[in-house]
Amino acid sequence: MSGVLIRLRGVTKVYGAGQAELLALKGIDLDIKAGEFVAIMGPSGSGKSTAMNILGCLDTPSAGQYLFQGAHVEALSRDQRARLRRRYLGFVFQGFNLLARTSAQENVELPLLYRGESAATRRSASARALQSVGLGGWEHHTPAELSGGQQQRVAIARAIVTEPAVLLADEPTGNLDSQRSQEIMELLRGLNTDHGITVLMVTHEPDMAAYAHRMVRFVDGRIDDDAPNPHQTVPSASLAAMPVSAGRL
């Protein structure tokens, strides 16, 4: 791991005003080093999702500083934040968020389409991304033809097709059974260890958080605990590189 990639200092977030005012974040300080795998945990309403939205440039702090590679994100315009997202960040969601009538390849190509990349570039990059998540040969299947675990792999391929510095995963195993959850977590760990992608993952499941190097726990809009994971799950054989048969995932 190298130096600090992300730094939050005194970050607050206020929603509403007057009697309806809600202080979602209350002066957050947080450093994320390049190459870390961080689990962000906490009960509902603790501020973890608000913090992730700010880290993902989907929202802005009401006060405080957000530095990404030393640049002050809180001072950027909306268009500048959008460019930062497209260039440096990838997103994985609990609900997959795939286009239903669109093939896996076309779903994965979407971020490159928004970038204005050529059709040939999009095809080759999406093929590589799908191969890296174990879905080589499944390019032309639609979400309806894929299992939940396969759909989440497509979503991860879409998130990494732009070769982001940071992957933000919001409850990535929330819709999966335990076996598929473990397989997705092994895949995320492989992207972190083998490709150097920094992973920030929101989860309420301790067994999924156990894959992370570090756990950050939010309570009532503040960071209650931030410590290395002393009991990190032992890696198993890499599942990301294994071919996915019709019966797999």
Residue 123 token pair: 């095809």
What is the pLDDT tens value at each position of the chain, 249 positions in all?
458 999 999 999 999 988 889 999 999 999 999 999 999 999 999 999 999 999 999 999 999 999 999 999 999 999 999 999 989 999 998 888 999 999 999 999 999 998 889 999 999 999 999 999 999 999 999 999 999 999 999 999 999 999 999 999 999 998 889 998 999 999 999 999 999 999 999 999 999 999 999 999 999 999 999 999 988 887 765 444 444 333 333
Taking alpha carbons only, the member of 71, 159, 74 closest to residue 110 is: 159
Beta bridge partners of 199: 37, 167
3-state helix, strand, coil in the chain (%, to 5): 35, 25, 40
Hey, how many other C-beta atoms are within 10 angstroms of the C-beta on 238? 14
H or E element at residue 190: helix 178-195
Three-state SS at 126: helix
Q: What structural domains does the chain harbor? A: 4-228 (3.40.50.300)
Environment class of residue 123 by beta-carbon count within 10 Å: exposed (0-12), middle (13-18) or buried (19+)? middle
Helices (H), 90-147: 104-115, 119-132
What is the rounded CA–CA span in Å between residue 85 and residue 57?
Answer: 7
pLDDT of 187 reads: 93
pLDDT of 110 reads: 94
Taking alpha carbons only, the member of 218, 181, 215, 213 closest to residue 198 is: 213
Beta strand residue intervals within the chain, DSSP E: 4-15, 22-33, 37-41, 63-68, 71-72, 89-93, 166-170, 198-202, 214-219, 222-228
Residue written as token pair 């990190």: 232
